[in-house]
Amino acid sequence: VTYSAVKEFVDAQGVTQVQRVKIKTRIVNKRTYSYIIEDLRPFTTYTVNVTAVPPTQEYRPPAKITVTTQMAAPQPMVKPDFYGVKGEHEIAMILPQASEEYGPIAFYYLIVVPEDSLTENKNPDQFLTDDLISNKVSSSKDALAEGPYIAAKFLHRNIPYSFSLGDGQIYEGFKNRPLQKLKNEEVDVTGEQAPRMYKRYKIFIRSVVDTPGS
């Protein structure tokens, strides 16, 4: 049994990469009627040859099949980067994109988590997509952010390099809500330091692979 693969995919920088899996050979007992090939890469098309070798070592043409392994979750992405403030309710950001090594990306969610005592110790995986989708508000441009939410959805490779978080626009059905200042009761005016007038936010990107039915 021999198998190999050649794979093309778009990496996290948007560059097409080519990966080659060198030919590997497995010798199987003649009485073996099934064989499992392990440690294959996700979303990779392999060419598998099965050749019966007679005692005389004469050549016999192989039986050939081509199979593609299943997709897998994308590799971890770098964090969005902040590069400026735009008015009272917007910040300018640089958004990363995911590598498509493990499967093509169907879309991205830009997720915003206003920091409070309930969310400050949670990691991104603890914010379920269904819960975030349910936390929608009206399309009013003046509606402000309340609780964790999806600020934007970007299809396939249409995720922008730079993005204005909080511009009040609608992106594929999700409102990019204006960011908010702290409420008066949240401002600590004790001590010598000036009060912190703006909320803190956790911001991350969630990518979804293009599986059938997604």
pLDDT per position as a tens digit, 110-121: 999 888 777 777
Predicted pLDDT of residue 86? 81
Q: Does 10 score more than 70 pLDDT?
A: yes
| Residue 141, pLDDT score | 46
Determine the Cα–Cα distance for residues 114 and 179; give it in Å rounded to an integer: 9
- What mean pLDDT value characterizes the chain? 82
The whole-angstrom separation of Cα 35 and Cα 24 is 14
Place 108 in a pLDDT band, splitting at 50, 70 and 90.
Answer: very high
pLDDT band per the 50, 70, 90 thresholds, residue 43: very high
Q: How far is CA 134 from CA 28, 131, 150, in A?
A: 53, 5, 9
Q: How far apart are CA 163 and CA 39, in angstroms?
A: 39
What is the structure's pLDDT at 194?
45
SS3 68: strand
Residue 137's pLDDT is: 55
Q: Give the DSSP H or E segment for 129.
A: helix 129-134
First to last CA, the chain: 35
Instruction: Identify the burial level of 105 via C-beta atoms within 10 angstroms of its C-beta, where 0-12 means exposed, 13-18 middle and 19 or more buried.
Output: buried
Most confident stretch, 146-155, 163-172, 177-186: 163-172
Residue 113 CB coordination number (10 Å): 22
**Top-confidence residue, 145 or 136:** 136
pLDDT at 156: 83
The answer to whether residues 160 and 121 touch, using CB atoms and an 8 Å cutoff, is no
φ, ψ dihedrals at 138, nearest 5°: -65, 165
What average pLDDT does this structure show over 27-43?
Answer: 88
Going by the DSSP 8-state scheme, the letter that residue 145 receives in this structure is: P
Write out the two tokens for 120.
């400050």
pLDDT at res. 213: 52
